[in-house]
Amino acid sequence: APAIRLEDYQLPRYRIETVFLDINLDPTETRVCTRMSLARTAGTPDGTPLELDGDDLSLTSVQIDGVPLECSAYEASPEKLTIKAPPAAPFELIVETVINPSANTQLMGLYQSSGTYCTQCEAEGFRRITYFLDRPDILSVYTTRLEALANNCPVLLANGNLAETGRVEGTDRHFAVWHDPHPKPAYLFALVAGDLAKVPDRFTTRSGTSVELNIYVEHGKEGLCGWAMDSLKRSMRWDEETFGLEYDLSVFNIVAVSDFNMGAMENKGLNIFNDKYVLADPETATDQDYANIEAVIAHEYFHNWTGNRITCRDWFQLCLKEGLTVFRDQEFSSDMRSRAVKRIADVRLLKSHQFPEDAGPLAHPVRPRTYHEINNFYTATVYEKGAEVVRMLKTMLGPEAFRAGLDLYFERHDGEATTIEAFLKCFEDSSGRDLGQFSLWYDQAGTPVVAAETEYDPARQSFTLSLTQEIPPVPGQKTTRANVIPLRFGLVDPNGTDLTPGSVDGATVSGDVLLFDQQHQTVTFKNVPVPPVLSLQRAFSAPVRLNQKLSEDELLFLARKDSDPFNRWQAVQTLAMQDLVRLTSAIRAHQPVSPSEGIIDVFRSILSDGSLDAALKAQALTLPGEADIAQEIGKDVDPDAIRSARESLRSLAGKALSGQLLQIIEASPAGAYSPDAEPAGQRALANRALHYFAVSDASGVSALVADRFKTANNMTDRLAALTLLVHSNLPRAAEALAAFHDRHQSNSLAMDKWFMTQATAPLKDAAQVVARLMDHPLYDPSNPNKVRALLQSFASGNPTQFARVDGSGFKLVAESVLAIDKRNPQVASRLLTSFRSWRALEPQRSALAESALLRISSCEELSRDSRDIVDRTLQ
């Protein structure tokens, strides 16, 4: 299939003003009757055929203005319905299709999850329900009538407000009519029908409207919705207070289903969620799960303005809604929790997911210019880097001008399908700034590398900073231009206080933000009385890789003294990373390995620093991940050497700090569980301490871990202990796995953790264990959460075993991709992306990865999703 290109965008030839859907639900033969009012758009010539999108559809009948069409007047295939010569005046088109929800294993369009009918239409799933102009710039007002067996489906939901319900006379069926007054694109359409329990609540908006809130779940799970509901109400309040945005319907429904391709979906007034991001109690959910639920509930809710009321003109503009909405949910979580800790967590995610994507064969701009399959562009680049770009805009313009620009965006574009250009124009108009160069962030792929060197001149009392930026080569990107990079900074004096320089030459500086906007730039700070240490890219003010030549002493100083908590954390990470890279090469060269003591001293002083909260300490004590180290090394990567290096540092710390660690473990919160940030931070620190303590020489280590497992009163502590037992292959591992299984076997989400713990164990039989677990009665290859828990976590979270030098890890994943691809292309192609860094591996392993990829590529019946990923990965 030819590529779709941004430059080929054309305005639609026809509009669809209103849609009336009448859907008669049946597991194998659902009848869909769609009545739409159509009109030509200005400039459409007479006789322009109307081409409606379809996917796997079968047409029953088609009428225009009440008259059935002659066969010669249209052409129908499963993928397209063409009306050859539609009327010149506005007309009504009625199309009837039949679909089979129970055979829908792709989970796109209308499908069933545990017997519940539900839909997923983004990006192009609506065309699997009816023939339509399935593109986001077609905005229509929808009315949906649902009919189903009253016994099987007491709950009937669609977008908008409920208009009517009733029995269908003389039958055992009933119906509901929903009307959504807000024009929307088809990708935001949704319906749900089934036998579900309802957890109700209410919210009163700032302007006094009472909104009905409901969470629908399987019967028996009502007690697991409290946190999600609380998060929803806090999100609604926060969006009013922070951005002045209110909810706009009389009801907001959330439905949790267990079979879902992604996290959740922001359908207007009817959000559908992967139940992983709704259900929680202390027995089955970790602190991380609670934080994720809070963030995803907020994200989907925030889409109501950034995504739904203002949507994307075309799918190239995906970051318009996703980057902005991720930024909004990150801000929300920062306000609910510790801002510094949230920033660290977000940057970790960016560096571990987006940086490798941007450095490999799947690199693409935040706003791509071409695609074969849009589902493959719901990426870390569009989401996470997209959010960083919005954050940079705020950093550059300042909070007031940023808010003014957003206000203008909502005022100017409400009810539209728009573009990145229109978005940026609002900020230009409100601030008077030219954002031409800034827009490069949307168009250039690759993570810019910034080199920074400094020099202090005592005679002149001046401090000079030389900056250079460069974007490394990216497939298909020939030339690059200098970005505008906002760098937050501080000149830290020997006491740890930020100096205020007299004047600055060579760059625009406002407050603590320096704009670096050329290839090379030399910046001079005057009246600097003492030689400072430069703390640069504070709070990670731009998504760039910073190469700053700081000595070990300077890093140790920043780790202890920087007033910016993010950069304190960063200094620890940099110190650890330098050591880990050094240790890795020593191991590969068969030289003796001795981790440096400096990092241990830093750990010691962080642990005893009363000014730091526990969550921040836990983050500071978390070493860069194996994949992060691989990314830093960049080529000729040997995952086993990386792991040994990381383990040697871990064990040095465990041994050197065992006394302090034990105190922390013993002080971990007791009593009733609360998911709040503070106790969660204490648990994170205690479990981090346990992670190090487990590799100390102290006696009774494995008994202590086993005891923590046994006595845990919450999933966070239980899973942390289980992971340690299994990953370190401690004597009680098998026993603990069995106990966990027995305790949680009836809870699918908890069992996902059991699968994941084993799949990520860095033990030499991991691939066999995964293969064996695929036959476990609770494993279900049609459930995306199970595939992610077992296979995706093995492929992306177990670097030594996935990249085993006997090729068995790659082979297992490649075979699984092929099997899953037949059933669910989106899940398969996502799994396939775990090969993306294959070229960075040492020659033997990269050859094995290549042959696994070639094996996939040689399969003729590959889905478009997997074909696209495998082709780009191999290119």
Where along the sequence are the contacts to ligand B3K (CB under 6 A)? Answer: 122-123, 262, 264-266, 299-300, 303, 322, 375, 378
Q: What is the spatial distance between Cα 342 and Cα 282, in angstroms, rounded to a whole number?
A: 21
Q: Is-contact 364 872, C-beta < 8 A?
A: no
Which option in Zn ion, ligand B3K, none does residue 262 bind, with CB closer than 5 to 8 A by kind?
A: ligand B3K
Residue with tokens 């407050």, as numbered in its chain: 511
Which option in Zn ion, ligand B3K, none does residue 688 bind, with CB closer than 5 to 8 A by kind?
A: none
Q: Site map for Zn ion, 283-322, x if CB under 5 A?
A: ---------------------------------------x
Q: Which two tokens stand for residue 293?
A: 């639920």
| In the complex, minimum distance from the CB of residue 227 to Zn ion, in angstroms, rounded to a whole number | 20
Q: Site map for Zn ion, 318-347, x if CB under 5 A?
A: ----x--x----------------------
Between 124 and 180, name the residue whose CB sits nearer to ligand B3K. 124
Q: What is the spatial distance between Cα 141 and Cα 162, in angstroms, rounded to a whole number?
A: 14
Q: What is the spatial distance between Cα 315 and Cα 323, in angstroms, rounded to a whole number?
A: 13
| In the complex, minimum distance from the CB of residue 299 to ligand B3K, in angstroms, rounded to a whole number | 5
Between 231 and 483, name the residue whose CB sits nearer to ligand B3K. 231
Which option in Zn ion, ligand B3K, none does residue 265 bind, with CB closer than 5 to 8 A by kind?
A: ligand B3K
| In the complex, minimum distance from the CB of residue 865 to ligand B3K, in angstroms, rounded to a whole number | 10
Please tell me whether residue 345 adopts helix, strand or coil conformation: helix
Q: What is the spatial distance between Cα 345 and Cα 349, in angstroms, rounded to a whole number?
A: 6
Among the listed residues 300, 357, 384, 850, the single catalytic one is: 300
Between 322 and 564, name the residue whose CB sits nearer to Zn ion. 322
Between 318 and 491, name the residue whose CB sits nearer to Zn ion. 318
Does 300 qualify as catalytic in the annotation? yes
| In the complex, minimum distance from the CB of residue 99 to ligand B3K, in angstroms, rounded to a whole number | 19
Q: Is-contact 536 546, C-beta < 8 A?
A: yes
Q: Of 296, 309, 188, which is closest to residue 246 (Cα–Cα)?
A: 309
Which option in Zn ion, ligand B3K, none does residue 123 bind, with CB closer than 5 to 8 A by kind?
A: ligand B3K
Between 677 and 817, name the residue whose CB sits nearer to ligand B3K. 817
Residue with tokens 């000729």, as numbered in its chain: 636
Which option in Zn ion, ligand B3K, none does residue 218 bind, with CB closer than 5 to 8 A by kind?
A: none
What does the CA dihedral 154, 160, 161, 166 come to, rounded to 10 degrees?
-40
> 562: which residues sit within 8 A by CB, 6+ positions away?
490, 492, 496, 535, 568, 571
- Nearest residue to the partner ligand B3K, using Cβ: 122
CA atoms within 13 A on the CB side of 812: 26
| In the complex, minimum distance from the CB of residue 804 to ligand B3K, in angstroms, rounded to a whole number | 31
Which option in Zn ion, ligand B3K, none does residue 122 bind, with CB closer than 5 to 8 A by kind?
A: ligand B3K
| In the complex, minimum distance from the CB of residue 262 to ligand B3K, in angstroms, rounded to a whole number | 5
> 454: which residues sit within 8 A by CB, 6+ positions away?
463, 464, 465, 466, 534
| In the complex, minimum distance from the CB of residue 315 to Zn ion, in angstroms, rounded to a whole number | 13
Between 379 and 668, name the residue whose CB sits nearer to ligand B3K. 379
| In the complex, minimum distance from the CB of residue 316 to ligand B3K, in angstroms, rounded to a whole number | 15
Q: Of 226, 276, 107, 294, which is closest to residue 680 (Cα–Cα)?
A: 294
How many residues in the shown chain lie near Zn ion by CB under 5 A?
2
Alpha helices in 211-338 (DSSP H): 226-243, 287-302, 318-336
> 856: which residues sit within 8 A by CB, 6+ positions away?
814, 817, 818, 832, 862, 866, 870
Between 119 and 570, name the residue whose CB sits nearer to ligand B3K. 119
**Footprint (CB under 5 A) of Zn ion, residues 602-661:** none
Identify the helix (H) or strand (E) that includes residue 709. Answer: helix 701-711
Between 143 and 354, name the residue whose CB sits nearer to Zn ion. 354
Which option in ligand B3K, Zn ion, none does residue 375 bind, with CB closer than 5 to 8 A by kind?
A: ligand B3K
Residue with tokens 């954002």, as numbered in its chain: 435
Which option in Zn ion, ligand B3K, none does residue 276 bind, with CB closer than 5 to 8 A by kind?
A: none
For 567-582, letters b (16+ CB in 10 Å) and e give bbbbbbbbbbbbbbbe
Residues in the site for Zn ion, rule: CB under 5 A? 322, 325
Residues tagged active-site: 300
